[in-house]
Structure 1
Amino acid sequence: MAGLGAVNKLTDEEQQLLQNASDLVPVLREFGRRIDEDRHIPEELIQKISRAGLFKLGTPKKYGGYEVSIRALIEIISEVAKGNGSVGWVVQIINGNNFNASLLLDSEVLDSIFKHEEEIRFCSVLQARKAIVRKTEGGYFVERGLWGFGSGSKHATHALLNLMDPKAVQENPGMMLAVVPMSQIKIVDDWYTMSLKGSASNSLEINNLFIQEQYVVVQDQEFINKSSSMLRQLQGIDRYKPYANVISSLTTGISAILGLARGALEHFVDSAPRKGIAMTIHRSQAEVGHIQYKVGLAAMKVESAHLHINRSIENLENHIKNGEPFSKKEFAQIQTDIGYAAMLCTEAVDMVMVESGGSVIADSNPLSQIYRDIRGGANHALTTASTCLELYGRILFGLPPQHVLTISAAPLLKD
């Protein structure tokens, strides 16, 4: 199920990290109920993930990480999510944030962060619920700020927080991303949910904190104009810098959703031959025609999702390689590919849930946990299909975009 040519494009090191993730899948499944009951990932499991190198996928090599490709990041994290959705979500968030932090922050700032910890793990929230922030000499003073949802915050060393709340974003689409050590943040224990229970996506609170200017990246029009003018001059990983926001859609949104759908399908295919259908003479679901049809259709949905994800990666990589700006349609297509892929994965899980009988509603049934987790993941702002499809429709109609990522990227787009 990890096929369609993607895995063949991974380096030997990336293949080994993918194998490390595969080796952890049975262990993650054993921890499933405990993770949900504890509402976070047990420390012993965090250590296993760390020893497997799975928190350093998006960390630059100069800081001891693997700096894997975006394609490898998605394949490896989706494999983790096959074992457990909450773990996949946290591994996804931390690696995506580590990658994006390495793009956004100056090398001096990165040096100061990574030299103090053996393993840096960033959580993030890309819009404040409420933020009262004053520009002061040498930095910014946060009188009060509240952010939700801080996925993985319990296991993070730092947070990457947008100091702008909804009102500020509506007035000036963009971001003011601040790096804040978790020691300076209060984690509000309010993550009581039906979905991704173990992701520790608690709210984060800051009161009366000064943040030095070098630890804040203001992604305003001046920032984007400067980035767009340098498209052809940037080299190495720096070529990704102008596209950091849209890269977030790929690195912190879709991987776990894809893995959950793959895991649901594998579980159903493995269980169906040994399971009958209540109130019928059928002894094996696998022998029933309409279930064979549903499994085939569900599998095609997951594989189609993978194809859309691969297309978005290829479109992004080709533009970055050539230093070329996107058209609005090309840029919107990347965002829509991700939202549409999330929708297809969710539909696939819905289909196998329907055919799983009444026992599937038990908390102990793996499909029940997958169903809850993928529903929460697909509702994330970066993967909500309705928002992404509206964006694509607006562009096709020649209307201005409504999505903040596309609006803020205007200087990077062709007229």
Structure 2
Amino acid sequence: MAHEVVSRVEEIAGRLAAVADETERLGRLADESVKLIREAGVMRLLQPTDFGGYAAHPRDFAEAVMAVAKACGSTGWVCGVGGVHPWEMALCDRRLQQEVWGSDSNTWIASPYMPSGVATPTDGGYILKGRWQFSSGTDHCDWIFLGALVGDAEGRPAQPMKAMHVVLPRSDYTIVEDSWDVIGLRGTGSKDVIVDGAFIPAYRTIDSEEVAAGEIAAERAGRTETVYRLPFWSMFPLGITSAVVGICEGALAAHLDYQRDRVMAAGTKVKDDPYTLFAISEAASEIQASRLQLLDGISRLYDLADSGKPITFEDRAVVRRNQIRCAWRAVSAVDEIFARSGGNAVRRGNPLQRFWRDAHVGLQHAIHIPGTTYHATAQVQMGLEPQGALRMMI
């Protein structure tokens, strides 16, 4: 049975699709999209129940993100990225959770996690400076997670380097307008943010290695629900790849709708052309395979955590390898059908071209880079132990 939030998203899909062009034109989510997503509860799926959330199975979260992205790629992307932040917030100090959600359980949190700033220790906390790119949905958020390197007395990254995630209220950072001029996922409003000397109390920080390990952070936070014992590098990529797969599902739906009555230049109706129909079926199968493999991977990790078994590096690596492959497989399938859609598919009024652009920009995210993850996964399955950079983002 579909989670109630997934069912709600399916009910509002037509309304999300109707404002997708407005979202792209604005360079941020349209107000109607934000309203619909808030009412559906998508951003609260991974939020703890004691702060108005569902603490849902991550499979349900992925299904909801895909359903949103199928209607509007940018809105799905914001849900995929922003929807993971409540999961991490559940692992933070309870004082911080109260600050963020105490008066409004619908408060949204932005990111990014790239350690593009330096947090210099001071009495009671840190002084943070830096500039970060790609803060998806940031216009609609009141708090933000940022990656930072711990600094030395001179404000330079200390050695050996140590990374952490810090949390700031909207008043402590500046959103750089006009810093998101892109060819796809335009409506995500993934703008730059700047922090210039904000004080971060120590309780508004969390060790990124503990979050990456999963169970350690959950135990420290007193969270017993299975979902909070999963590793960060299994959960965060899930949201992003779910958005890409959902976008590809949207592209397939738009392609089918467009091709149904189309007549090609030679006068042949597409519905009677065996070559195009073959490509459609093959692409549809590839996209569905991506969906199923993505859901299977996170479900396997959840089952391990739920049974009290350890999640090994190999478990994580295999799921990450497959998750990356899901994104590439689905986008490649969209390329096959887009190439058979004719010249009118590139017109702005045809939603297919927007899905095609959004899918390719989604593939550009760092978590979809296959090289080191594929390398590490092959090594670990040979009985070797990947070292250094090969372990990043796994």
Common topology (TM > 0.5): yes
1:112-155 deviation digits (Å, cap 9, x = unpaired): 321133521111111133x232111211111x211111001011
Determine if the alignment matches structure 1 residue 179 to structure 2 residue 188. no
Correspondence for 1:243 = 231
Determine if the alignment matches structure 1 residue 204 to structure 2 residue 204. no
TM value normalised by structure 1? 0.85
Determine if the alignment matches structure 1 residue 277 to structure 2 residue 267. no
Which residue, 58, 77, 95 being the options, matches 1:70? Answer: 58
* Displacement of 1:228: 9.2
1:181-205 deviation digits (Å, cap 9, x = unpaired): 1221100120000010010100110
Instruction: Please show how residues 324-339 of structure 1 align to structure 2 within 5 Å.
Output: 324-339=309-324
Letter in structure 1 aligned against 2:246: G
Residues 1:402 and 1:338: Cα distance change in structure 2 (over 3 Å): farther
Which residue, 71, 80, 83 being the options, matches 1:92? Answer: 80
* Displacement of 1:35: 1.3
Which residue, 89, 92, 103 being the options, matches 1:105? Answer: 92
* Displacement of 1:309: 0.7
C-alpha separation between the residues in 1 aligned to 2:327 and 2:187?
A: 20
Correspondence for 2:325 = 340
Which residue, 38, 43, 50 being the options, matches 2:31? Answer: 43
Structure 1 residues not aligned, in runs of 5+: 1-7, 410-415
C-alpha separation between the residues in 1 aligned to 2:60 and 2:194?
A: 34
Letter in structure 1 aligned against 2:124: G
* Displacement of 1:100: 2.0
Letter in structure 2 aligned against 1:258: V
Equivalent residues of 2:145, 2:167 under 8 A apart: yes
Equivalent residues of 2:175, 2:194 under 8 A apart: yes
C-alpha separation between the residues in 2 aligned to 1:408 and 1:343?
A: 17
Q: What number of residue pairs does the alignment pair up?
A: 388
* Displacement of 1:400: 4.5
Equivalent residues of 2:146, 2:165 under 8 A apart: yes
Partner SS for 1:35: helix
Letter in structure 2 aligned against 1:140: Y
Correspondence for 1:312 = 297
Residues 1:57 and 1:349: Cα distance change in structure 2 (over 3 Å): same
RMSD between aligned residues: 2.9
C-alpha separation between the residues in 2 aligned to 1:199 and 1:224?
A: 29
C-alpha separation between the residues in 2 aligned to 1:110 and 1:377?
A: 30
Instruction: Please show how residues 6-21 of structure 1 align to structure 2 within 5 Å.
Output: 8=1, 10=2, 14=3, 16-21=4-9
Letter in structure 2 aligned against 1:331: R
Equivalent residues of 1:339, 1:389 under 8 A apart: no
Residues 1:320 and 1:208: Cα distance change in structure 2 (over 3 Å): same
Partner SS for 2:260: helix
- Greater alpha carbon shift after TM alignment, 352-361 vs 385-394: 385-394
Correspondence for 1:146 = 131
Partner SS for 2:119: strand
Structure 2 residues not aligned, in runs of 5+: 151-155
C-alpha separation between the residues in 2 aligned to 1:160 and 1:219?
A: 11
Determine if the alignment matches structure 1 residue 58 to structure 2 residue 46. yes
Partner SS for 1:331: helix
Correspondence for 1:264 = 251
Equivalent residues of 2:373, 2:390 under 8 A apart: no
Letter in structure 2 aligned against 1:110: Q
Which residue, 10, 13, 35 being the options, matches 1:25? Answer: 13
C-alpha separation between the residues in 2 aligned to 1:225 and 1:320?
A: 10
C-alpha separation between the residues in 2 aligned to 1:99 and 1:20?
A: 21
- Greater alpha carbon shift after TM alignment, 253-262 vs 238-247: 238-247
Correspondence for 2:123 = 137
C-alpha separation between the residues in 2 aligned to 1:287 and 1:223?
A: 52
* Displacement of 1:321: 1.4
- Greater alpha carbon shift after TM alignment, 202-211 vs 328-337: 328-337
Equivalent residues of 1:401, 1:407 under 8 A apart: no
Partner SS for 1:205: strand
Letter in structure 1 aligned against 2:166: A
Correspondence for 2:153 = none
* Displacement of 1:225: 10
1:75-133 deviation digits (Å, cap 9, x = unpaired): 1111111111001111222211112221x20223212321133521111111133x232
Equivalent residues of 1:138, 1:213 under 8 A apart: yes
1:203-225 deviation digits (Å, cap 9, x = unpaired): 11000111000000023479959
C-alpha separation between the residues in 2 aligned to 1:327 and 1:35?
A: 41
C-alpha separation between the residues in 2 aligned to 1:408 and 1:201?
A: 21
Partner SS for 2:366: coil
- Greater alpha carbon shift after TM alignment, 374-383 vs 324-333: 324-333
Letter in structure 2 aligned against 1:111: Q
Letter in structure 2 aligned against 1:264: A
Equivalent residues of 1:169, 1:175 under 8 A apart: no
Equivalent residues of 1:246, 1:405 under 8 A apart: no
Equivalent residues of 2:109, 2:142 under 8 A apart: yes
C-alpha separation between the residues in 2 aligned to 1:298 and 1:18?
A: 24
* Displacement of 1:315: 2.0
Correspondence for 1:294 = 279
C-alpha separation between the residues in 2 aligned to 1:230 and 1:343?
A: 35
Partner SS for 2:310: coil
